[in-house]
Amino acid sequence: MTTTRAFRMKLKPGMVEEYRRRHDELWPDLAQALGEAGIYDYSIFLDKETLHLFAVLKLRPDHSIDALPQQPVMRKWWDYMADLMETVPGNRPREWPLQPMFYFA
């Protein structure tokens, strides 16, 4: 069964366009690692007023998303993005899980 995850992150002021540019140029090896971890249909939305980013992704039943933080390409991406957003130690983006409240199919 497919799982959907959603979470919130936060950009630093003045970083919207650079964040978009870096994601428009997503590294092929990072895209491959995300796909191999079972992630697909991944979108990130911006609330311009608060600079909050809202991410929604789907996971295949056999996903290995919990292993992504150990992937060198994932850590390299977090280091690359750390100047643009709020992070925790290790430069992982600070994430706030979002609780599902409504679904319409």
Q: Which of 3, 4, 20, 23 is catalytic?
A: 23
Active site residue 52: no
CA dist., res. 5 & res. 100, Å (int): 9
Question: Degrees (nearest 5) of the Cα angle 26, 31, 36?
Answer: 170
CA dist., res. 64 & res. 60, Å (int): 9
Catalytic residues: 23
